[in-house]
Each structure stands twice: as structure tokens, then as C-alpha cells.
Structure 1
Amino acid sequence: MSDNSDADYEVGQDNIQVMGLDIHNPVFAVSGLTIIAFVFFSLVFREQAADFFGWLRPALTNRFDWVFMLSANIFVVFSLLLIVTPLGKIRLGGDDAKPDYSYAGWFSMLFAAGMGIGLVFWGVAEPISHYGASLGGVAVGEDGLRTDWAPLGAGLEDPDASRKLAMAATIFHWGMHPWAIYAVVALALAFFSFNRGLPLTMRSVFYPLFGEATWGPLGHVIDVLAVFATIFGLATSLGLGATQALAGLNYLFDVPVTDGMKVLLIGLITVFALISVIAGLDKGVKRLSEANMVLAALLLLLVLIVGPTMVILTGFFDSMIEYVVALPGLSNWIGREDTNFMQGWTTFYWAWWISWSPFVGMFIARISRGRTIREFVTCVILIPTLVGALWMSVFGGAALDQVMSGNGQALTDAALELKMFKMFEAFPMAGLLSFVGIVLVVVFFVTSSDSGSLVIDTITAGGKTDAPTAQRVFWCVLEGAIAVVLLLGGGLGALQAAAIATGFPFAIVLVLMCVSIFIGLMNERRRN
């Protein structure tokens, strides 16, 4: 414990040793047993599980869309204010703290963990889905996927305006809002751990609000919710990644798309994730993340070169301008006529990011010691927003160019998981591009799984970062099992329903987290 700690609490003081495991009682037991029971009953009662997930997703998005919209806006405003206020001068870890990683290593790890699989999956699929629509009229199918856009009157008359609007809506879903969600959690964990000496776990963040009650049942509930949100948010991404990777393998090598192959693919990738998890953060996750970013940059560069280069580059700047102009309207939830767009796309995304936030936030916190808060927020929000916008502009811009030129019917008609591969058909080296895309999805899959396992293990070990390897293995295997169960029990719709269900209660937790961060930072400033 540091001398300026806020509480008399030692990391691991409530832990118990069971069969070589270092368990934070009862967080490990409650979360582990509940998730195992979920896996068992979902496999035994597959039909009932599919019906339940089909009901759950629209039930939450239709009634509580305002909760997700309002909370995400709060996170953006709160984070940006930290950049311009004197609080931004505070350094994570104290005035003399030095960064543990270079900018290159830091960016690679936070971006690979943040949304790698999603960028590859939706980079082509989402802009194509939005084109020709003025942000409304989307029909949500029985499987929970968003298809068949029907325009509300604007967009079709001016193809260029429709393209800009499609890209602005896409960047909105992958820009400041999701990264602000991650930044809030990461900043809270890093500050209270590195500056206050509290355990690196979710409950510590709420000590300014709840005092010593943080270490009791209330804290257990917070940590268990964090575990649930993390593992189901990860399962959603792993399911998307497996679906797209298998679609690519079928496209290139005629590998059959069956439930058995999905299970086999998730199993194989989980094995690779286990190897990385056992190697640890610096040897496994860091090196794999850096290799993945090199591969992602290579694919981005190849598409930029073989695609309509000038159209993509000019489209990037046009899209960013349109994003800024459209941001107030897209962020508003009052009086919206395009409720299907808001609920079918935006609400799902915000819930997904919120469910990912304990995982990504804790991972970013662990690698961000030594950064000032101003540096931290700027790099975690603004720079990834620009990189994500560039990725979407390259892939989405190339795809939209094919559609607008009249040569994209096959691309438009393709299933969501196949759209990227269909786009590659129009380029030289189509087979190479598709193969690199598959490898990228698989490696993003591995980095998400191994990073998530390390984070969940930290939460369930009461904030300890050196818990036994067997625990990390347990959570890594369980993540793969959840992804399999949700895919078998309802497909991508079930994955999305699970992310929303766990994201909803955690949205309230994150709003309270902003209050706690502000109190903690004000106390820190007064002490200095």
C-alpha cells in the first residue's frame, strides 16, 4: 500500500487458496458457477435459449435506448473536459512515474484489445448497410441482424450525400463514444490503483462514494457484474470473428459452414489464446498485439493501393467533416423518427462497448502507468478515433465506390460476414487479400481472448496481477465455451442479446464511476 492510500485494504486479503488457485471469495465462485450453469442449460435447452435471446434484445433496446444514449454522451463530455481542465496535469502513478511502454507498444495493445475484430467484420458491412438510407427504416430480422434499409426520403437522390452520411454514421459508432467508454473505466482503474494503492479491480473505483462498504457485499456485486459484462461482451466479438473467419475459409477453400466447424474453429483459436495467456502480458499479449497491428497496417495499405486510392483519401476527409456535422443529431435520442436505426444499431453498439469496458478498461489501465491524464485521454479517445475512421474510410470507401459505380450488386447481396471477401474480388491479389483478412481476424480473436482472460483473472483474484496460471486458463476456456453456446443457441442475434443484457446494468455503474473519478481527482489536486 502507498502512503497516500484512501483505504486500509491489502490486495488479496480476502483471497483463499483452493487446489492451487488464488480465489477472491465469493467473486470467483459466484461468477464462475453462474456462467458454467448458463453454458449447461443453454446447451441442454437450445430451443428455449434461442427464443429467449430473440425476445431479450428488442425488449431492452426498445425500452431503454435512452439510457444507453444518455450515458454514452456523458462519458464523451466528461472525458473531453478532463483534457482542458487542470486535472489533466495529474500523472498516473505519481509525479515521478515513468511510462512502462513506448508509444508504439502502448497503441498496439490498446487498439488490438479495443475493437480489432469488430473493425474487420463491420469495416465493409456497415457502410454498405447504411448507403441509400437517411439513418432510418432498418428492419431487424428474426436472427437479430440489421438488414433491408428503407430510406426516409433523403439520401437516394444524391448518391454522394448518401455516401458521406453512411460513412459518418459508421464513424459515429466506432469513434469518440466507444473510446470514451473505455477511457472512463481505464482512467478510474489506473488512478485508484497507481495513485491510491488500491487493488486493480472494479470495486476500488467506488471507494470515494461508498467507503468501507466497497470491500463488502456491494463490492462483490460490482465485481461479479464486471465479470459477466466482460465475458459476454468478449463472447459477442469472438462469435463475430469465428463467423467471419469460417465464411472466409469457405470462400477460399470450400470449408463447410456448419455448427461443428464453428465449434472446431473456436476451439482451435482458444488453444492459441491459451498459449499466449500462459506466456503472460509482456511475452504473449504484447508481442501478439504488435504483430497484429503490423498485419492490420499491411492489409490497410494493400486495400488503399489496389483500391480507388484518391477516392478513399478524399472520402476520409469528407467523412470526418460529415461526422462532426452529424454528431449532435446522431447523439440525440429525443424526437427521433429513425428509432429503428437508433435502437437497431446505436443502442446495440453502446451496449456492446459498455459490456467490453471492464475488459478493455482494465487492460488499458495496466499498460498506462506514467501517462498524464491529459495525455491518457487524448491518446485513448482522439487518436484511436482517427485510426478507426481511417480504417472505415479505406474499407467502406472502397466498397461504396464499387456500389456507386454499378459493380457492387454481389457485394450488396452478400451475407454480412462475406462482404469483405466479396469486395476483394474486384481487386488484384484477391486471394492474398482474403487470406490476410482471415489471418487478421484469427489473430484479433486470439488477442481479445487472451487479454480478456488476464483481466477477468485479475478481477476474480481481488486485484492481484500474478494469480496462478491455472485461473487464466480456466477463464480462457470458459470464454470459448460461451461463444460456442451463444452461436449454437441463436447465432449472432443471441450474441448481441447477451452483450446488451450485460451492458445495461453496467451503464449505470459507469455513470457513477464518473462521479467517483471526479471526487478522486479533486482530492489528488488538493493534496498536491
Structure 2
Amino acid sequence: MFQRRMNPRVFWGASAVIATLLAAAIFAPGASDQVFGAAQAWIIDTFGWFYVALVAGILGFVLFLAIGPTGKIKLGPDDADPDFPYVSWLAMLFAAGMGIGLMYFAVAEPIQHFAAPPEAAPRSFDAAREAMVITFTHWGVHAWAIYAIVGLSLAFFAHRKGLPLTLRSGLKPLLGRHTDGVVGDAVDIFAICGTLFGIATSLGLGVAQIGRGLEHLTGLPATPTNEVLLIAAVMGLATVSVLTGLDRGVRRLSEVNLVLAVLLMLFVLVVGPTGFLLKALVQNFGFYLDHFFVRTFTLYAYEPRDWMANWTLFYWAWWIAWSPFVGMFIARISRGRTVREFVCGVLLVPTGFSFLWMTVFGNTAIALDMTSAAGAITQAVQADLSTALFQFFEQLPGAAVTSGLAVALVIVFFVTSADSGSLVIDTIASGGAEETPKWQRIYWCGLEGGAAAALLLAGGLEALQAATLAAALPFAAILVLLAWGLYRGMRKDLLGAAAEHSDPPLSDRLRRILAPPRRGQILALLDSVAEPAVRQVGEGLAAEGLPAEVERTEAEILLTVGEAGARTFTYRLRAVSRPLPAFSMIEATGGRRAMEWRLRASANLAGADYDVTGLSQSQLVGDILDKLALWRSGAALQARPPATIPSS
């Protein structure tokens, strides 16, 4: 029997939703294509404004977090060092975030906007400038801001607060213990569905380009059957990468792919119009800044057109659908970095590379199309987007070599996307567990490939676009809640740090004396301070190879350290009530007594339990470590209670 480590409600709930949608696409492709199209039209008409406003708001909010006092918060304990070197970290950001899309759209998007711009005259110099501004907008900081907000939420609550690495953890400040129930399950299910269909869209684009590339190089026809076989073959490679783990699999593939991508880009830069490209890069960036706010809020409300649905809104939905995947992936690899470092790295470095990449390929394609190619690249793009890159290479020296390298790059991007995606989805479905049985990761990897194949057979690119828009809609609303929860969590973190270095005001101390804590306040303290502290210690112990288990009930948290059956250390936190002092004979002899609630701690050392109601998270961590040290040394027969701070 297979071992398992999962949240069954999330694992099987998400599987059921995905299976239902895929069954409809497979057994009724015509009808499902119509449904996808109708859903896309309805979402664009009804929620297009919401997508545009949401992306603009997220970008502003992420910059606010980086510039303000929250920027100094570390994503992990204050003394944590980054898990990965900076170059490896950036390489994994690039490969996981947009790899296949950059290969697919590097030539196709600028040429399409050049040939059919939304505002300028087609195939004019104004159209060329507009094409690059639009491309920069779609592949710039807006996309990475969406990834950053999800990644920040996950990294903050998992690495710093000790909560599970799942989307529901980001809602803890808003929902408290309810995040462990049906609401939290629903959030994780939406995240899995959005992630899987977002990845399926990228895999569908990738396999279409691989098929056209092989047809261009070998003459093998890019039929739907062959595309499905390609998906099966490449997903087999992805499964091998999945089983090697994050360090050996994704990291190595990402680094290799980044080197190959840079070499290909440098080749085009050298053999293409080098001087023009360098000037174009500077001017493109200037136009991007000049049109930044206009493009951020453009909806063509006064002159509706299909262009918005086919481009900007599709991209925003695509990035939103991808955000659980990329956000969780960059959260996993970003432990030990500050919020400011995280935001600057995530927003600026991949964006800068994308701008350089799009300029080199896009401006070279436009220049060639206006001169020596005489419109051939435009014709290829309009006939089939998947052939754009290979038609472009035909206009440059060494077309066979560069086309073969491009196919290899897309394959490796395909593998890293499927690899990273299956690891991320399995983490969500397993309640944040980082080590899960191999069959679970293989299961999700196969489901990603099945989704890509089914959507390609159901309607090609149009079905992929429609599925992405539909899958992104529920998660777009969740993004708003994640941002609000992150703000509350970080603000509380800053206030807690300030409180550790200052005495409470006299009015606060009087209020605590005259209004003793109630049950709800102590339970909230368990959620916001005690549980993160205990989980932080448990995570640190596990990282050092010492078995540690955290158990939580509504009013109690138990940390157990050590092997089962061996000598173990336990640390228990409980919400305890006691009657307040009686101030009259009636109260003392049978009247109803008011109750005071406290948070009390105990360890399996000699000594009674003691009050820890007023301790901050870092102080509580220190108390646990002190008791653990006494247990390890065996030197103490009685645990001495720490000094307490008046409760809030």
C-alpha cells in the first residue's frame, strides 16, 4: 500500500475538480470549446476592470512593503542566512517564472503588435515603438508583482511565523483557527486548480513550439497526436527531475538553461543589428516609463476591442493563475532574505532580463521584417504563432543550429516548469509538507501533462486562454485577502519588535489590570504568538535532524522532541481559566464569579506550570530553548518560571 502524506480533503477535492473539467474537454471537445469561449467572453465583460485594477493595486502594495519599515523584515529568523547563493536564486526565479513564454512570444508578440497595433498605423515606425512598449508592459514588473505578493505571503508566514507552507497560512491573521477548516481547504483547492491550468497553458504553448521546431528541422508533422506523444515524452523527463528534488533537479536545470538562453540571446545580439538593438533597448525603456501609467490602467472602455481580451487581460489572468506556483516556488528558495531584498530581486532582475530578451529578439525581428525578410516573419506569425521563432532564425546565419538550440531550451523550460509545478502543487495538497512520497509528485506531474494534452485537443490556444481566465478568477479575489493578511501580519511583527524594546505605557498596564484577558483573547494569542513560536522551534529542530512534532487543539499546543519510545522532551502551552478575586460576601459564597484566562506553559521537567501570557514570540522561543537546553543537559531538577510581562 502506498504511503501518503497529504491533506485528503484538498488532495482529492482538487483532483475531482480537475478530473471533471478534463473529462468534459476529452469526451465533449466541441461543447467544451464553446463553454470555454462563453466563459472567457463573460469574464472579460464582467471582470476585465477587476483584473486591471487588481494588478495595478498589487504593484503599488508590493512597492509600499519594500520601501516602508516592513522592508527590513527578514523572511525567516533574524539570524537566518539565505538558503541559496544569489546567482542560483536568480536563475531559479527566471526559469520557473516565464521560461516557455519568453521563448514562445519573444518574436511572436512584438511582430503581432507591429502588424496589428491597437492604436498606431500597421507596420509603421509608430507601430514598432508601440509594439515594444506593449510587450514590455506585459512582461515587466506587473507580472512579477503578482508573483511577489504570493511569494511574500508564503515566505513570511512559513519561514518567519512557522506556519505550514500553504496558501491558507496567509489568511491566518484574518480567519484565525478557521483557516484549518473548510475555508482553508477551499483556498488551497482554488490554488491547486489555478496553478495546474496555468502550468497547462504554458506546457501547451511549449509543446506546440517544440512540435513546430521538430517539423522545421526534421519534417516530422506537428499533428495533435504527435503533440500528445511529445507531452508524454517530456513529462517523463520531468518526472525524473521531480524525483531528484529541488537542489539537484530544478536548481541544476535552471542554471544550465539560463546559460543556454544567454548564449542564444548573445548570438542574436552579435549577428543582428547590434548598434540598433542597444539604442532600441534604451529607447524602449524610456517609452515604457513614459507610458507606464497609461498602459497600467488602459481598458479601452470608450472604444471596446477584442485586443484587450486576447492580450493584456489574458496575460494578467495567466500571471494570476501562475502566481501560486511561482509564488510558492520563490518562497521556498527565498528563506533568509529581507522583504526589501526579495521585492527588489523578484521585481527588477527578471524584468530587466526580460526587457533585454524581448528587445534583442523583438526588435531584430521587426528590423528584419521591414528589410531583408520583406514581411515573411509577419506572414509566419499570422499563420501560426508557434513557427515565428524558427522563421526568424531562417533570416540569420546558422539557422539549423539556433533552431535546434531553441527546441532544446523549450524542452528544458518545459521540464523545469512541470518539475517545479508538481513539487509546489504537492506541497499545497500535503498541508505544507516539504517531503512527500514520490508517487504523489508523479501523480501531479502526470495530471499537468494530461491537462495540457486535453486542452490542446479541445481547442488549441483558444481553449488554453479561456481555461486560464476562468481558473484565475477565484484566485484573483484570494489575492486581495492575502495582501490584507500580509499587511496585518507584518504590521503586528513590527509592533511586536518595538514592544520588546520598550515598556508598556501606564494606561496600557492599567487597562490590563482592570480588564483581565478573556478566553477569546488567549485563543487569539495561541494563534498569533504561541503557535508560530512553537512551529519555528520545531522547524529549526527538524532542520538539525532532531525529530520534532507539533500538535495543536483549540486551547492547547504540544511540542514533542525525540524518537518515539525514547527519552523525549515535551513543552505544552494551554489556555487556562481561574476565578477573579471576590470583592463581596455574595461573590464568595455562591454568586457568579468573573473568570480570568491566562496562557500557561509546562515542560517535562520538575516544577509546576507557569504564566507566559505576556511573552512575545521571540521571548517564547527563548523560553522553549531554555527548557530544551535544561532537558538536554539533565542538570535541572526544577524549571524556574521566567519573568512575565502583563498580558494584552
Q: Shared topology, TM-score over 0.5?
A: yes
What CA distance in whole angstroms lies between the structure 1 residues aligned with 2:229 and 2:47?
37
For structure 1, list consecutive stretches of 5 or more residues without a partner in the other structure.
Answer: 1-17, 137-151
Q: Does 2:411 match 1:428?
A: no
Most deviating of 233-242 and 160-169: 160-169
State the partner residue of 2:29: 46
Report deviation, 1:287: 0.6
State the partner residue of 1:348: 314
What CA distance in whole angstroms lies between the structure 2 residues aligned with 1:338 and 1:49?
26
Q: Does 2:1 match 1:35?
A: no
Report deviation, 1:58: 2.2
SS of the equivalent of 2:5 reads strand
State the partner residue of 1:511: 480
Q: Is the 8 A contact 2:115 2:378 kept in 1?
A: no
What CA distance in whole angstroms lies between the structure 2 residues aligned with 1:340 and 1:406?
32
Amino acid at match of 2:202: S
State the partner residue of 2:455: 486
The Cα RMSD (Å) is: 1.4
Report deviation, 1:338: 5.5
Report deviation, 1:353: 0.3
State the partner residue of 1:502: 471
What CA distance in whole angstroms lies between the structure 1 residues aligned with 2:302 and 2:91?
38
Q: Is the 8 A contact 2:75 2:155 kept in 1?
A: yes
SS of the equivalent of 1:377 reads helix
Q: Is the 8 A contact 1:61 1:348 kept in 2?
A: no
Most deviating of 218-227 and 88-97: 88-97
What CA distance in whole angstroms lies between the structure 1 residues aligned with 2:128 and 2:256?
33
State the partner residue of 2:368: 402
Amino acid at match of 1:466: E
Most deviating of 124-133 and 514-523: 124-133
Q: 2:158 aligns with which of 185, 188, 193?
A: 193
Q: Does 2:72 match 1:72?
A: no
What CA distance in whole angstroms lies between the structure 2 residues aligned with 1:298 and 1:407?
24
| Cα deviations by residue, 1:371-402 (Å, 9 ceiling, x for unpaired) | 11001000001111111111100110110101
Q: Which structure has the higher relative contact order (CA within 8 Å, separation 6+)? A: 1
SS of the equivalent of 1:371 reads coil
Q: Does 2:223 match 1:258?
A: yes
- Superposition pairs for residues 414-493 of structure 1, below 5 Å? 414=380, 415-493=384-462
Q: Does 2:478 match 1:524?
A: no
What CA distance in whole angstroms lies between the structure 2 residues aligned with 1:307 and 1:185?
39
What CA distance in whole angstroms lies between the structure 1 residues aligned with 2:199 and 2:5?
23
What CA distance in whole angstroms lies between the structure 1 residues aligned with 2:306 and 2:270?
36
Q: TM-score, normalised by structure 2?
A: 0.75
Q: Is the 8 A contact 2:193 2:471 kept in 1?
A: yes
Q: TM-score, normalised by structure 1?
A: 0.91
Q: Is the 8 A contact 1:230 1:359 kept in 2?
A: yes
Q: Is the 8 A contact 1:123 1:391 kept in 2?
A: yes
State the partner residue of 1:184: 149
What CA distance in whole angstroms lies between the structure 2 residues aligned with 1:365 and 1:336?
40
Q: Is the 8 A contact 1:239 1:484 kept in 2?
A: yes
Query: Which structure: larger Rg?
Result: 2
What CA distance in whole angstroms lies between the structure 1 residues aligned with 2:20 and 2:303?
41
Number of residue pairs the alignment of both structures matches: 493
What CA distance in whole angstroms lies between the structure 1 residues aligned with 2:197 and 2:322?
8
State the partner residue of 1:221: 186
What CA distance in whole angstroms lies between the structure 1 residues aligned with 2:134 and 2:298?
15
SS of the equivalent of 1:131 reads helix
What CA distance in whole angstroms lies between the structure 1 residues aligned with 2:115 and 2:404?
30
Most deviating of 242-251 and 159-168: 159-168
State the partner residue of 2:330: 364
Change (3 A) 1:182 1:336: farther
What CA distance in whole angstroms lies between the structure 2 residues aligned with 1:340 and 1:318?
28
What CA distance in whole angstroms lies between the structure 2 residues aligned with 1:436 and 1:327?
34
Runs of 4+ in 1 over 3 A off after TM superposition: 154-157, 333-336
Q: Does 2:349 match 1:389?
A: no
Q: Is the 8 A contact 1:167 1:393 kept in 2?
A: yes
Change (3 A) 1:133 1:48: closer
Report deviation, 1:48: 1.5
Q: Does 2:177 match 1:212?
A: yes
- Superposition pairs for residues 72-471 of structure 1, below 5 Å? 72-134=55-117, 136=118, 152=119, 154-156=120-122, 159-333=124-298, 335-337=301-303, 339-405=305-371, 407-414=373-380, 415-471=384-440
Most deviating of 70-79 and 33-42: 33-42
What CA distance in whole angstroms lies between the structure 1 residues aligned with 2:393 and 2:244?
35
Q: Is the 8 A contact 1:66 1:333 kept in 2?
A: no
What CA distance in whole angstroms lies between the structure 1 residues aligned with 2:231 and 2:328?
24
For structure 2, list consecutive stretches of 5 or more residues without a partner in the other structure.
Answer: 498-648
Change (3 A) 1:38 1:343: closer
Fraction of identical pairs, as percent: 45
Report deviation, 1:342: 2.3
SS of the equivalent of 2:386 reads helix
